[in-house]
Amino acid sequence: MRVAAVPAYRNRAVNPYTSLLYGAVENAGISVKEFGAATLLGFAPDVVQIHWPEWLFSAPTLARARMQARAFKMTITMLRARGSRIVWTAHNLDGHAGHQPLLERRMWNWFTTHIDGWIALSQSAVDPVLQRYPWLASVPHTVVEHGHYRGVYPNAISRDAARDHLGIPRDARVLGFIGNILPYKQVPLLAECFAQLAGDDLRLVIAGNAHSDQHDVISAVGDPRIIYHRGFVADAHLQHYHRAADRIVLPYREIQNSGSAILSLSFDVPVLVPNLGAMAELADIAGHDWVRTYDGPLTPGLLADVLAHSPVANRPDISQLDWPGLGQRTASFFREVMAYPPQRKRERRRDHARRRTS
């Protein structure tokens, strides 16, 4: 079986998730290549797996977005005409950027009526997908969790050495946020809540690329206990920011799955996350001491409460997220999709309309 993925290996430097996944899928006996122009010119792949379709039809300008949307439709139509099965991994229900919301909503609806299978990253993600796109109930689907990052990044430094590197007192109580700083992640809210806490021994470490509006709000908080490093965090430095923290805080306004939470657990650092999406399932996997969830918006009281508890000892058991098993399950699903008769767009819509009127 031949699989072409969007993306497969090309984004490893930014996020090795797909690279790790397809390495495991290849070990399970399936060839995986990066999707590109050659895919349309050579032998048709049996399966084309798409992870973030919004990357392929979202653009800041409407003219460019329309051009991308037309190219996307033509490509999917051509692939299916040549016999390729289209599989979507449902990381999100739609895109976060939302440059062209009306066009993107139409494209999401079009795309989800032209797939032959889909993968959710958690059991809790299945119902939201079906609520948004009810016609996908008749399409083969499965759950394959997001794997961990243990052994991917350097992780040899101690907590004391990490704090020395960042200029943080060894006995400080430290919260952290590491990753791209986007509006839906509400990092300015984290800074504002932290600034309301009393304690000279407290520190908040924020590291990552920030949009200008996010950067301005974070900087305006003006708390000297906040250590803010704006910019891309290189792989070699991820250990410094994670190992220095007693807990990583991810105060997202919306969240279905979180590679950032899994990255923190891979560095043996507990996380505080909203009780949304798959976070309760992640807590069941790793342990509720390691993944603490909360309802409602982040508050200073929540931060004070987690800081009052001693850091978690030992390591979280995240063996359920080992890549070999995830690769085997993904490969098995590809084979299932190939054995399932492809459904057509009209059939799905007609069946869905019949269910609604019955």
Per-residue pLDDT tens over the stretch 109-163: 999 999 999 999 999 999 999 999 999 999 999 999 999 999 999 999 999 999 9
CATH of 2-147+323-357, one of 3.40.1350.10, 3.40.50.2000, 3.40.50.1370, 3.40.50.2300: 3.40.50.2000
Alpha carbon 184 to its chain's center: 13
CA-CA-CA-CA torsion sign (178, 179, 181, 185): negative
Least confident of 56-60, 81-85, 173-177: 56-60
Judge whether residue 230 has pLDDT over 90: yes
Type of residue numbered 248: I
pLDDT > 90 in the chain, percent: 79
Which CATH number describes the domain made up of 159-317? Answer: 3.40.50.2000
Judge whether residue 86 has pLDDT over 70: yes
Residue 288 vs residues 114, 257, 306: alpha-carbon distances, Å: 39, 17, 12
Q: Which long-range contacts (CB under 8 A, 24 or more apart) does 92-96 make?
A: 92/52, 92/54, 92/256, 93/128, 93/129, 93/132, 93/256, 94/54, 94/132, 95/52, 95/54, 95/58, 96/182, 96/184
Confidence of residue 358 (pLDDT cuts 50, 70, 90): very low
Give the predicted TM-score (pTM) of the model: 0.88
- CATH 3.40.50.2000 residue ranges of the chain are 2-147+323-357, 159-317
Backbone phi, psi, residue 2, to 5°: -115, 130
Q: How far apart are CA 54 and CA 34, in angstroms?
A: 18
Residue 10 per-residue DSSP state: T
- Quick one: pLDDT at residue 355? 47
Closest CA to 144 of 17, 325, 326, 20: 326
Per-residue pLDDT tens over the stretch 89-102: 999 887 655 678 88
- Quick one: pLDDT at residue 38? 76
Is it true that the peptide bond before 169 is cis, omega within 30 degrees of 0?
no
Give the mean pLDDT of the chain: 91
